[in-house]
Amino acid sequence: MSEKQSKRIISLLMENAPGALSRVVGLFSQRGYNIETLNVAPTDDASLSRLTLTTIGSEHNIEQITKNLNKLIDVVKLVDLTEGSHIERELMLVKVKATGALREEVKRCVDIFRGQIVDVTSTVYTIQIVGASDKLDAFVQAVSDAQILEVVRSGVSGIARGEKVLSL
Amino acid sequence: MEMLSGGDMLVRSLQDQGVEYVFGYPGGSALHIYDAIFRNKAVKHILVRHEQAATHAADGYARVTGRAGVVLVTSGPGATNAITGIATAYMDSIPMVVISGQVPSDKIGEDAFQETDMVGVSRPIVKHSFLVKNAADIPDIVKKAFYIAETGRPGPVVIDIPKDVTSPAETFPYEYPKKVKIRSYFPAEKGHSGQIKKAVQLLLEARRPVIYSGGGVVLGEASKQLTELAHKLNYPVTNTLMGLGGFPGTDKQCLGMLGMHGTFEANTAMHHADVILAVGARFDDRVTNTPSKFCPGAKIIHIDIDPASISKTIPADIPIVGSVQSVLNEMLELLAQTKEAPDEKALADWWQQIEDWRNRHGLYTKNRFEQSGQIKPQEVIQALHEVTGGDAIITSDVGQHQMFTAQYYHFNRPRQWVNSGGLGTMGFGLPAAMGAQFAERDQQVVCVTGEGSIQMCIQELSTCTQYHLPIKIICLNNQALGMVRQWQDLHYDGRYSESLYEESLPDFKKLMEAYGHVGITVTERSELKEKLEECFAMKDRVVFMDIYVDQSEHVYPMQVAPNGAMRDMWLSKTERT
């Protein structure tokens, strides 16, 4: 398919039950779709989990993905957040080697990105950054002079702007 | 309230669900359930000889009755043996409930004896599955399983039950739920009225229409509506492999099957159509040939209960999600109200064109296969049609014999043709025939097979003995894996890699006798009819017709692939469109 590929954020409510997650994830491998990021946790309703994933595909792929996800009995409701205006956030923890002159440099960078240093040793900073995925990518780029020891990202979480809600 | 153990609740739930037969095979993890089966008088258990056959038999039963077939197997190998049959049912959207025993809850995950993660292994080939944690949940889960299996686009549902959950040691209050509600499951019913109106409008404007009718017409009990619609409009109809019988095969408006081995007239008409009404069909790759070349001038109306089937491979111009029966009813109402009618002249020209194609290369205007000294497989199906009056329930295995049967046994009613279309499972035919015979005790059930396929579930001859199932087995014996051999002829310069049996076939006649059945060998054309009549005269016996047919015969027409359009076909070994 030569159709244009785009990144989508699909968010869904599913039964908070064993096996539900494997059905969602299994669908992607079974049908040859990609999952770029995945984020899942219970909601205020203990019987439901909110799962948000990002995937890259053509219009046709995305349509098939959402149709097939909707067919899963454990999937209660689904929205493609990218179809409307939305807020996208991801949390990243980065452990950076920070000694000598780099110590100040890294600190300045963290401030610019409005991150926080959440743990310090004499040689290492652990930094927390929250934002859209591209902001997180930009930060990793910006501190690339320093030695990055470890990167942990939560995967994208998202919510629609305004009155629109995804709930039962 | 009645107090029952988990095992007894399970079997009682099946009884209260109205289950007649359970096809199964006992084993360690399922023994509490089997003890409950022993106590229950209403649900009849059918002991097969291999769990794969249990699923195929339940599948055959489901295809003939429209109700979910039920399977009971034990954990581990019992469960994994059932997988092929579950996948077969999944691909053809057949309602089925598979109950598998599981090791006790506290042993799960410990690599216990005969442990397999059945829910995990079956996940990609089920509509849904349940792992039962508490015995008290059993009635509710059974009710949900049948509801899911039988509604919407049907499919198999697995219920995996750990042994301790069925233990007789504890009892629970039993009540079978009358209703079921699943908050995330609302199968489509009525189609969108606006879309249906647009579809009718487009249909009335068509100058070269074709109705492309699939398995959904059979599954969705819409054969009557489809036939009425086609007759009202006088539009040509082509059936898919799964849709055969959905529109009567002997009707003059029937173009026969379409697709890879479809008729010249069906495939050519599709290619030239300006409007295609696809009903309960899914534009399978064996139908469309190359998608980018599929029916270039056609506007497509697509009715299907499964939104994911619409515009999956071929974009629909007017998609309609809904039960085919309901949508067709609505279309019929609109047609009854409207004063508009299709352009008579255009339609007459279109039929003239189709008649022309039929006369030129049509499969049914004259025999398109060459006569030779040996019996041709096509002749066997023609004779079978004649001897059975076209009325038998026919199951088939997979390969050339399946295609010949699809082409030459003109199925006139839905649920008369039982075959593994989507998965293409060799070994399906005989156990499916058993299930069909349980469903229709007074109908003649015939399994058309080949000497390759039949050996994949031949052990079921013993089940036929146990339950007195007088199935007739028509074996087109060409002493080779015919369809494989055909492809090797066409694409591998006749290098018959592992498709020949090298004189190793059993003496089927003796084998039948060993099982207590009758075997008849046919080698001469002159005796074919007479022997078939002899076979069908033995009403209460299993009869196996070992019919030696021409090994070199190919199935034609055959669409040219890759990169062919619908109309690009081989019509014989030498003729191409």
Q: Pick from A84, A119, A136: which residue ends a domain?
A: A84
List the one residue out of B574, B525, B520 whose CA is nearest residue B550: B525
Q: Pick from A55, A84, A113: which residue ends a domain?
A: A84
When computed from its CA atoms, the radius of gyration of chain B, rounded to whole angstroms, is 24
Q: B185 vs chain A: nearest CA distance in angstroms?
A: 6
HSE-up of residue B444 (Cα within 13 Å, Cβ side): 19
Q: Are residues A10 and A74 in the same domain?
A: yes
Strands of B16-102, DSSP E: 21-24, 44-47, 69-73, 96-102
* B5 Cα distance to chain centroid: 37
What are the residues facing B98 on neighbouring strands? B71, B158
Question: Which residues in chain A are closer than 8 Å to B124, comparing Cβ atoms?
Answer: 26, 30
Which residues neighbour B366 within 8 Å (Cβ) at sequence distance 6 or greater?
none
* B449 Cα distance to chain centroid: 15
Q: 23-62 in A: which are within 8 Å (CB) of B?
A: 23, 26, 30, 60
List the one residue out of B434, B454, B443 whose CA is nearest residue B388: B443
Q: Are residues A25 and A80 in the same domain?
A: yes
- In whole angstroms, how far apart are CA B38 and each of B8, B11, B220, B245? 10, 10, 35, 39
Nearest CA in chain B to A65: B308
* B566 tagged catalytic: no
Distance CA B73, CA A27 (A): 26
**Subunit contact B307:A70, Cβ cutoff 8 A:** yes
Burial class (CB in 10 A: 0-12, 13-18, 19+), B505: middle
Report the CATH number that the domain containing residue A66 is assigned in CATH.
3.30.70.260
Q: Are residues A10 and A60 in the same domain?
A: yes
**pLDDT of chain B along its 577 residues, tens only?**
899 999 999 999 999 999 999 999 999 999 999 999 999 999 999 999 999 999 999 999 999 999 999 999 999 999 999 999 999 999 999 999 999 999 999 999 999 999 999 999 999 999 999 999 999 999 999 999 999 999 999 999 999 999 999 999 999 999 999 999 999 999 999 999 999 999 999 999 999 999 999 999 999 999 999 999 999 999 999 999 999 999 999 999 999 999 999 999 999 999 999 999 999 999 999 999 999 999 999 999 999 999 999 999 999 999 999 999 999 999 999 999 999 999 999 999 999 999 999 999 999 999 999 888 899 999 999 999 999 999 999 999 999 999 999 999 999 999 999 999 999 999 999 999 999 999 999 999 999 999 999 999 999 999 999 999 999 999 999 999 999 999 999 999 999 999 999 899 999 999 999 999 999 999 999 999 999 999 999 999 999 999 999 999 999 999 999 999 999 999 999 999 9
When computed from its CA atoms, the radius of gyration of chain A, rounded to whole angstroms, is 19
Mutate one of A2, A67, A75, A167 to test the B interface: name it (highest B CB count within 10 A): A67
Q: Are residues A25 and A95 in the same domain?
A: no
Encode B123-192 in three state secondary structure: HHHCCEEEECCCHHHHHHHHHHHHHHHHCCCCCEEEEEEEHHHHCCCCCEECCCCCCCCCCCCCCCCCCC
Catalytic pick among B483, B558, B566, B569: B483
Residue A79 in any domain: the answer is yes
Contact B179, B151 (CB under 8 A): no
Query: Chain A contact for B487, CB < 8 A?
Result: no
Contact B37, B412 (CB under 8 A): no
Residue A125 in any domain: the answer is yes
**Subunit contact A19:B131, Cβ cutoff 8 A:** yes
Joined together, the tokens standing for residue B3 give 């107090």
Could you give the number of structural domains in chain A? Answer: 2
Q: Pick from A67, A84, A101: which residue ends a domain?
A: A84
